[in-house]
Amino acid sequence: MRSRFTLGIIAAAAGSAIALFNPATDTVDDPRFFVPHLYDGAKGTSDVTPVPHDYDVREYVIDVKLHDVEKKISGNCKITASSSKNDLRKVQFNFANDMNVSAVKQDGKNCTFKHANDVLEITLLTPKQKGEKFAVTAFYSGKPQDGLYFTSKGAYVCSAMEEAQHWFPCYDLPNDKADRVELKVTCRDDWYVAANGVLKGEKSNPGGTKTFTWVTTNRIATYLVSISGAYKYSRFGTSWGGIPIRYYVFPEHRASAEICFEYTPRMMNFFSNRFWRYPFDDEKYGIAEAEMGYFGGMENQTCITLNSPYVRPDHSSDHILAHELSHMWWGDCISPGTWKDLWLNEGFATYCDALWEEHDKGKQAFRARMQLFANTYFAEDARHRFPVYAPESPWSATVYQKGAWVMHMLRHVLGEEKFFRAWNKYGRAHEYSHAFTYELQRAMEAEYGKSLQEFFDDWVYRAGYPVYEYDWTTAGNSVTVNICQVQKQSRLTPLFDMPIDLTITTRGDGTHVETVFVKDRHHRFKFAYGSPVTNVEFDKYGWVLCKKSNVVDVPVASFEAQPARGAVKLTWKTNPGARAAGFNVYRAPTAGGDEGRTKLNAELITGRSPYAYLDRDVEAEERYRYWLEAAKLSGGSETFGPVECEAGKRASTFALEQNYPNPARDVTTVRFSLPVPAETTLSVYDLAGRKVRTSRITACSEGENETAVDVSSLAPGVYTYRLEAGGAVAARKMVVVK
- The predicted-structure confidence for 1-37, as pLDDT tens digits, reads as follows 222 222 222 222 222 222 222 223 333 333 222 223 3
pLDDT score for 40: 30
Beta bridge partners, 693, equal 684
Burial class (CB in 10 A: 0-12, 13-18, 19+), 65: middle
Pick the CATH number of 339-461 from 1.10.390.10, 3.40.10.10, 3.40.50.1000, 3.30.420.40: 1.10.390.10
Fold matches, 339-461 and 651-736: no
Give the distance from CA 395 to its chain's centroid.
Answer: 9
Cβ atoms within 10 Å, residue 620: 16
pLDDT score for 641: 86
Domain 553-646: give its CATH code.
2.60.40.10
Backbone φ and ψ for 164, nearest 5 degrees, come out as -60, -35
Could you tell me how many helices (H) and strands (E) the chain has, helices first? 9, 47
CA atoms within 13 A on the CB side of 443: 20
Pick the CATH number of 467-550 from 1.10.3720.10, 3.10.450.50, 3.40.50.150, 2.60.40.1840: 2.60.40.1840
- Gap between the Cα atoms of 306 and 480, Å rounded: 53
556 three-class SS: strand
- Gap between the Cα atoms of 636 and 482, Å rounded: 12
Question: What's the pTM?
Answer: 0.74
- Gap between the Cα atoms of 398 and 462, Å rounded: 11
User: Are 223 and 157 contacting, i.e. CB atoms less than 8 angstroms apart?
Assistant: no
State mean pLDDT over 329-351: 97
Burial class (CB in 10 A: 0-12, 13-18, 19+), 317: buried
50-218: what CATH class?
mainly beta
Mean pLDDT of the chain: 89
- Gap between the Cα atoms of 662 and 680, Å rounded: 22
- The predicted-structure confidence for 252-269, as pLDDT tens digits, reads as follows 999 999 999 999 999 999
Output the CA–CA distances (angstroms, integers) from residue 489 to 27, 28, 118, 471, 620, in the order listed.
8, 8, 43, 22, 35
State mean pLDDT over 600-627: 88
Ordered by start, the domain boundaries in the chain are 50-218, 339-461, 467-550, 553-646, 651-736
pLDDT score for 8: 28
Beta bridge partners, 65, equal 74, 186
pLDDT score for 269: 98
User: Are 228 and 244 contacting, i.e. CB atoms less than 8 angstroms apart?
Assistant: no
Beta bridge partners, 134, equal 81
pLDDT score for 595: 64
- The predicted-structure confidence for 392-431, as pLDDT tens digits, reads as follows 999 999 999 999 999 999 999 999 999 999 999 999 999 9
Question: Which is higher by pLDDT, 250 or 689?
Answer: 250
651-736: what CATH class?
mainly beta
> What percentage of the chain has pLDDT greater than the value 90?
69
pLDDT score for 32: 26
- The predicted-structure confidence for 44-54, as pLDDT tens digits, reads as follows 345 677 899 99
Instruction: Assign 472 a pLDDT band (cuts: 50, 70, 90).
Output: confident
Q: What is the secondary structure of 107-136 as a DSSP string?
A: TTEE-EEEEETTEEEEEEEEEE-TT-EEEE
> What percentage of the chain has pLDDT greater than the value 70?
92
End-to-end CA, the chain: 31
Backbone φ and ψ for 412, nearest 5 degrees, come out as -75, -40
State mean pLDDT over 489-500: 94
- Gap between the Cα atoms of 525 and 625, Å rounded: 37
Cβ atoms within 10 Å, residue 627: 18
Backbone φ and ψ for 316, nearest 5 degrees, come out as -75, -10
Instruction: Assign 649 a pLDDT band (cuts: 50, 70, 90).
Output: confident
Nearest alpha carbon to residue 228 among 316, 295, 139: 295
Cβ atoms within 10 Å, residue 33: 12
- The predicted-structure confidence for 509-547, as pLDDT tens digits, reads as follows 889 999 999 999 889 999 999 999 999 999 999 999 999
423 three-class SS: helix
Instruction: Assign 592 a pLDDT band (cuts: 50, 70, 90).
Output: low
